[in-house]
Structure 1
Amino acid sequence: MAWQQLTIATTQELAATIEGLLENLGALSVTITDRADQPIYEPPLNSTPLWQHVSITGLFDEQDDLKNIEQFFNQQLGHQGEWQLTIERLEDQVWERVWLENFQPIKFGDNFWVCSTEHDIADSNATLLRLDPGLAFGTGTHPTTALCLDWLAKHDLTKSNIIDFGCGSGILAIAGLLLGAKSAIGIDIDPQALIATTSNAEQNNVLDKVKVYAADQYPRKPQAIVIANILAEPLISLSSDISALVKPKGHLLLSGILSEQVTQVISAYQHEFIFCPATIRDNWACLHAVKKT
């Protein structure tokens, strides 16, 4: 089955009006995205910030008649502001499969690779992590995850037990196991993340070494390596809980931090940890610290 996608390039001021018009026209879904690469990081709680320039997309059934749609919007909006409408036909596809086919393998360290379930690496000696993120965050392409993978690939993880706090797709926990760790625990508030972590662990033949827990159910037993790739605000607010999971002389890896947030995050942990210099990539930072005895 094919679909029709109606996209309107507009501004923040008209966004709510256009969203309502699309819903009234019977759009199956309405999506608002950034049109000018204006990132919004960690908005305040209970707020719904919106970009200044947006694209609003309505998805319609193939059978819907959209011939007079531009005339309709002209009548409804008149000269209220800036907007431009386009309509395109979308052939039905299994979109997650399309993503997997286009996801190119990424190398970390000397010979550790993250690739989709659709790809292979020619080097028979390579260590491969095959990934299908499902609906959870974590593919290795974003700097926050890549920085953590770099760290894991360059350190001796032999016999270590790992906690992946905010596990997403499970990529960091599974990477640690493939690189020599003894066991891993994945913790997340999102049930989809626990499903994705379990599925990816099975795909990589490490399911017997992984346990997953909802954020209100995980065991409070300290381990040698704790990774928390989330965002600065929860890293700070949860600093006591995360710190308690690290053994004395154990390693703490914090990521999902903007470079300008590094000082704030360090200050929340420095009474218990000794920090190495931050590693920065594309304005994102990763912090490595060792817990004091």
Structure 2
Amino acid sequence: MAKEIFLTPREQELFLDLYDLIFLDVDYLQKVIYQSSKPAIYRRTKLLEEHGYITSFRLAIVDKANPAGRSKNVYTLDSKGLEEVRELLGEARWDTRWTDRTPSHIYHCLEMANVHASFKLIDNDHFGIHEWLNESRSQYRFADGRDGQIKPDGMLLLKAKSHDIHAGVMLELERSKQRKDVSIGKLKRYNRYCEIKCFTDQESIDVDIAAPRIVFISVKENEMRNLILHTKDVNTSSTKGVLYTTMEKILADPYGKIFFAKGSSNPEQLYGIADPIN
């Protein structure tokens, strides 16, 4: 029989983050949720699993710096955790197909979770997170066919701390082998989405925003430079701007001047995430 468990505010935060991000690894739990040793986290998560709040599996670590055969714990919601989310939010929509994904997709989700953590943990004088929308909640179909849908890896809704103003940022974590035509197609669809103001009636966006800004995050500097070159002539006039950065920079300083901007009069000028582009 499982040991009795009493849920803490940290567990509530864990369930909500799992609801938003689908998959989290033990490194995220250590950095964002528990700020404790990994053995202590493993004991706590094992108890949560035994009571049906979360479930876990081992995921192989694919990294040139690490030898083959290593793996780590990855967590997602189980039935009782989802019920806790419903109690906290009033409702919760969950599809088991979201967790039946390939390892590559799970890695992609974990990388986006790291981006979320950087915005959540690093304080900023001007902005805070209003809400994070995962891939499922941020996607939107505005026309039939493949070209009639946007599908960001996530969307960040920011709130100004000194004014009642919100801003939307669509996030695209670029894969290293992504082809030029795929990136161009994404930007064309984003521009059309903004042109017809789909963001004004998208149910998952619960605040008033202007047209969203598009942020591309590349793994490597040279990949970012190629992306800038490949997309420079795409019409994005209906968006709030297109920014480019690397994963390393956004994890270190997400609110800093780390972004190159499409259409900037000075191609080498760096911008903050909400700076006007000139």
TM tier, smaller: 0.3 to 0.5
Mark the structure with the bigger radius of gyration. 1
- The structure richer in helix per residue is 2
TM-score (norm: length of structure 2): 0.33
- The structure richer in strand per residue is 1
